Chains A and B, each alone.
Chain A
Amino acid sequence: MVEGGRTDAAALNPHSMPLVASFDWQFIWDHLPDFWEGLKATLKVAAIGIAGSLAIGIILGAARAHRIPVLSWLAAIYVEVIRNTPILVQIFFVAGALPHFPGHPIRLEPFTIAWLSVMIWGGAFNTENFRAGFEAVPYRYREAGLALGLSRFKTFLNVTLPIGGRIALPSSINTYISVLKNTSLLTAIGFAELTNVAYSLESVSFKATEIYFALAVIYLLVVWSLSALIRFVESRLALPEST
């Protein structure tokens, strides 16, 4: 009985036709401009997010590595909270809870919420990456800098940062790529990035297979390219083995 019921409906369901025969390539082709618009938005937000994560990572990572009072503790709290809570909740928090902050509602537009939330997330992970990198710089190098008469700050700029930054490079790369992938979650607040375009398109055309396949291919191409690019840069900047 159950088989009969399901087969009746299933037989007439267009989705049970052979996959390749019904794959609507034309549909994807027609909608490439929409995907491109979404991709542009994704890349814009990711770029700002990555740049921001880099800055936050260096500054707070240095604060943590040098145990600067107060700032180091605040940074530690920031890092632990962000790393132990889901990014989607953080996005909704920035978008939905901040405007209801008791007393001082903070209202932001979608684009701002977008880059702000991915940057806050990326910054926390990057702080850890750079802290580990700076702490891994052998003390004798910093000693040498100080012995040469450089101030603590100049030592940091000329010794710890270049070396520690390179040590932190592999883990930073992972963080930046994750920032790019996390932009897909911004669809939840209606920001018109790539996943949002696909999702909205699917809600009106119902061509799930075509749309999500195309979406997956686009993301893989972007992520793999970015990955390859950064690894190329890393190989240029890598420290020689002997250090």
Chain B
Amino acid sequence: MPDWVGPVADYMAHEGLKNTARIAVFAVLGSTVVGILLGTLMTIRFLPLQGLIRLYIEVFRGLPILVTIFLVYYALPTAPVIHHRFGVITGAVIGLALWGSAQVAEATRGAVQSIPREQHEAASALGFGWLGRHRSVILPQALRRLLPPLVSLLANVIQNTTIASLIGVPEVLATAQRSIERLQFEPGAESHQFAIYVAVMAVFFCISFPLTRLAIFLERRLV
């Protein structure tokens, strides 16, 4: 293996992949929690609440993720309410989670509403109230239907962490680019740019492909 590969791979793995993983994990956690909450709340027949959540969903699905991240990282800190400064990783997590939670909320709403009325009626007939009905009957079924989209979301979020490179997060893409720049300025000026970009694509492919296959498999098995 040529000598330039070692340091580049090291840097990309130890710094890049680590940050990618960190951002992806927290963003998906945040998206799932907030998204399921909002999606379930949306099924309550209370128009103002439905309207508000609908607005949230349409805004964060309608905005490009880059714009959301810019808003969170550059504009949010200037709002008078926010006194705690946060770094690029938190900014990326919040931005991705806003988008992700809108996706999950929409999927949850669809999943909950796809549970046939008979389930609601049967549960009511057995004496369950709204909350009990949802907790014991509706949500378990809905959550099972949510599993494939959640797995897809994980794959998508992992891919979208690359957007965070544009605010300075040293994730996989950024670490690859810094390595290319370093190699360009060493004597010899052979930056191995093509090979390094292919490597970045390969890394993401190897993570994302199994996940999307898993999502398809789960879709067939569970739904």
Contacts and interface: CB of A to CB of B under 8 A. Distances in A.
In the complex they form, whether A and B have CB atoms below 8 Å apart is answered with yes
Nearest to A218: B67
Interface string A1-42: 000000000100001111100000000000000000000000
B166 A187 contact: yes
A80 B209 contact: yes
A85 B159 contact: yes
A187 B79 contact: no
Interface in B68-85: 68, 70-71, 74-75, 77-80, 83
A182 B160 CA distance: 11
Nearest to B180: A96
Nearest to A97: B197
B53 to A, nearest CB: 16
Contacts of A92: 173, 177, 197
B70 A212 contact: yes
A55 interface: no
Contact of B63 (A16, A198, A199, A216): A216
B201 A81 contact: yes
A83 B212 contact: yes
Nearest to A81: B205
B64 A88 contact: no
A89 B74 contact: no
Interface range, B side: 35 or more
Contact of A212 (B74, B80, B200): B74
Given A195-B64, A212-B70, A86 B160 contact: yes
Given A89-B204, A220-B59, A224-B58, A100 B70 contact: no
Contacts, number: 119
Interface in A43-98: 80-81, 83-90, 92-93, 96-97
B198 A88 contact: no
B193 interface: yes
A187 B173 contact: no
A19 B205 CA distance: 43
B90 interface: no
B62 A93 contact: no
A187 B58 CA distance: 24
A158 B91 CA distance: 51
Contacts of B198: 97
Given A15-B77, A97-B198, A88 B163 contact: yes
A224 B54 CA distance: 13
Contact of A213 (B62, B75, B177, B197): B75
B67 A212 contact: yes
Nearest to A211: B75
A112 interface: no
A195 B79 contact: no
Interface of A: 10, 15-19, 80-81, 83-90, 92-93, 96-97, 100-102, 181-185, 187-188, 195, 198-199, 202, 208-209, 212-213, 215-216, 219-220, 223-224, 227
- Top 3 A-B pairs ranked by shortest CB distance? A184-B64, A84-B208, A97-B197
8 contacts: A10-B83, A80-B205, A85-B159, A88-B165, A90-B201, A93-B197, A195-B66, A216-B63
